[in-house]
Amino acid sequence: MMRIPFELAETVVAVVDEGTLDAAARRLHITPSAVSQRIKALEEQLGQVVLVRSKPARPTEAGTAIVRLARQAALIEHDAITVLGVDEGEAARATMPLAVNADSLATWFLEPLARLSERHPVVFEVHRDDQDFTAGLLESGTVMGAVTSRATPVAGCRVSVLGAMRYEAVATPRFVARWFGSGVDAEVLGQAPVVDLDRRDDLQTRWLRAQGADPARPPRHYVPASNDFATAVRLGLGWALLPTFQSKDALARGELVPVGGMPVDVPLHWQQWNLRSELLEAVADEIVAEGRRVLSPLEDPVSRR
């Protein structure tokens, strides 16, 4: 049976993570030529190309399988070192890549990570993306776990329900007086400026359609960070849907007011590799418990935990 040398698989991960062979060489403390030779040796052994030599470098389908293998092997190795009680100092600290949507990252996701870092020798590499796309980072092997809107398990993963993040349309009193002084209807919504996180953020678009408004009409601002996005709304740049526990204090102080319309609930799930690892289980338990504590309850028809 063909065996994949762990050193070669680790090299692929380093190139994918760092983006270039030179950066991977610095991480691995070898020369760029040695990195290139390792990649070439693995491709010759597999009979397949594992990297697209672009900037940044990205894995092929075969390379994705290698990345996933290397990350899983590293996690299992870390668990074994921990059980054996081998003291390797910082070398024993595991790196765990995770994916999360911007609003969760800005509101509740970091607290469980902070608690975990106090109890376990682990550092986190957090990838931020829309909840509709974070599952793709699991499929590619980029991350080991993800907060996602996807309820169907990614191949080789299992799912736990977290809850629903509730959003309500809000704006400043001054903005409402200027644009919605005569009421909120489809015509006015087609003229009032709206704030989106980025061009993949369809939350405001969905809400506009629910109000019978044409989402292509209103002018749009794009503010690509959750806290800055909320700040833009509080400064009166436009209206938008904010998570209720992100806007509640500003609403209580009168800095924001509801625009109206029905709230939007976005279901969130935790997906992780279906891999028996004490560290991964500890991370999952902490994140799932925190999500269920702060988010609105959601039925759990797909839980695998």
pLDDT score at 302? 43
State what percent of residues in the chain have pLDDT above 70. Answer: 95
**Residue 141, helix vs strand vs coil:** coil
pLDDT confidence bin for 112, thresholds 50/70/90:
very high
**CATH label of the domain that carries residue 288:** 3.40.190.290
**52 and 117 housed in the same domain:** no
Full residue range of the structural domain in which residue 226 is found: 94-305
Does the pLDDT value for residue 50 go beyond 60? yes
- Residue that wins the pLDDT comparison between 159 and 53: 159
**264 and 171 housed in the same domain:** yes
**109 and 132 housed in the same domain:** yes
**55 and 135 housed in the same domain:** no
Residues 208-236 pLDDT 10s: 999 999 999 999 999 998 999 999 999 99
Q: Residue 4: CB partners within 8 Å, gap ≥ 6?
A: 42, 45, 46, 66, 69
**254 and 162 housed in the same domain:** yes
Task: Kindly list the distances between the CA atom of residue 17 and the CA atoms of 93, 135, 223, 276, 304, in Å, as whole numbers in the listed order.
Answer: 17, 18, 26, 24, 30
**CATH label of the domain that carries residue 85:** 1.10.10.10
State what percent of residues in the chain have pLDDT above 90. Answer: 75
Does the pLDDT value for residue 85 go beyond 80? no
Average pLDDT over residues 114-141: 92
pLDDT score at 298? 79
Per the structure, the count of domains in the chain is 2
Q: Residue 132: CB partners within 8 Å, gap ≥ 6?
A: 148, 149, 150, 200
Strand segments, DSSP code E, in the chain are 51-52, 58-59, 94-100, 122-128, 145-148, 157-171, 194-196, 220-222, 240-243, 257-258, 264-273
